Amino acid sequence: MPAYHVLPNHGLPTPTLRHRRNLQKKQPEMTEEPTTDYDDLLFGVRRSIRYHDRRVAFFDRFHRFVLFLTMIAGSAGIVAFIAEFSQAWPQWLKLLPIALISLAAGIDLVVGTADKARLHDRLKARFIALEKTMQLSGETDDVQREWKTERLDIESDEPPVLRILDTLCHNEVMRSMGYAKDRFIPVNTVQRLLSPFCDWDADAL
């Protein structure tokens, strides 16, 4: 990453927050990807943090959604409502809501979404701790070997990575670090929508 130096103010008024944001917007886009070992490692750590953050959010939302459906299905008022207004419905249609809720609850139980959310949360915390260490330490060869070893230790505890979702996180890090859009890896709409669930046509990347 390029080093930025703070220049003396020379008695000039300090820029306001709005001015600083405008200056940041005017900064030219970076056109080259990181080339040093430190930059590559830092980029990968930041990508992993975003990846696990997305997994935590996905599994937490799914688990809470299933709990909400289960609570609604167990409500006496909902049962009475369905019994009152579904008399003319076909038998299969009456059973459909119960079947869908049972399916969602079964997936939640078998997949273990709550446990997976906690797993990804722990992995994210470990990557954040590694990034903090990298920011506070020098860039000697011995230290970088320790960082790479720590990263491999964390990755050994990771479940299989979804490539499409990992690619989206790659592009997010590129955007946050100011790289030009032509350096992003293209991901189509279908791949983006299905990225939390599966790798759709990942070989096309």
Q: What is the pLDDT of residues 121-175, one digit of tens each?
A: 999 999 999 999 998 887 778 888 999 999 999 999 999 999 999 999 999 999 9
Low-confidence ranges of the chain (pLDDT < 70): 1-35, 76-84, 86
With respect to residue 119, please indicate whether it lies within any of the assigned structural domains.
yes
Any long-range contacts for 198-202 (C-beta under 8 Å, 24+ apart)?
Answer: 198/162, 199/162, 199/163, 199/164, 200/164, 202/163, 202/164
Amino acid sitting at position 65: F
Interatomic CA distance for residues 164 and 198, integer angstroms: 8
Q: Based on the structure, what is the number of domains in the chain?
A: 1
Domain of residue 86, residue span: 34-173
**The residue count for the chain:** 205
pLDDT of residue 76: 58
Cβ–Cβ under 8 Å, residues 165 and 195: yes
With respect to residue 193, please indicate whether it lies within any of the assigned structural domains.
no
With respect to residue 201, please indicate whether it lies within any of the assigned structural domains.
no
With respect to residue 94, please indicate whether it lies within any of the assigned structural domains.
yes
Burial of 29 (0-12, 13-18, 19+ CB in 10 A): exposed
With respect to residue 131, please indicate whether it lies within any of the assigned structural domains.
yes
Interatomic CA distance for residues 113 and 59, integer angstroms: 5
Interatomic CA distance for residues 133 and 109, integer angstroms: 37
Half-sphere exposure of 96 (CA within 13 A, CB side): 7
With respect to residue 123, please indicate whether it lies within any of the assigned structural domains.
yes
Interatomic CA distance for residues 205 and 185, integer angstroms: 7
With respect to residue 21, please indicate whether it lies within any of the assigned structural domains.
no
pLDDT of residue 90: 79
With respect to residue 194, please indicate whether it lies within any of the assigned structural domains.
no
* Main-chain phi, psi angles of 26, to 5 degrees: -85, -5
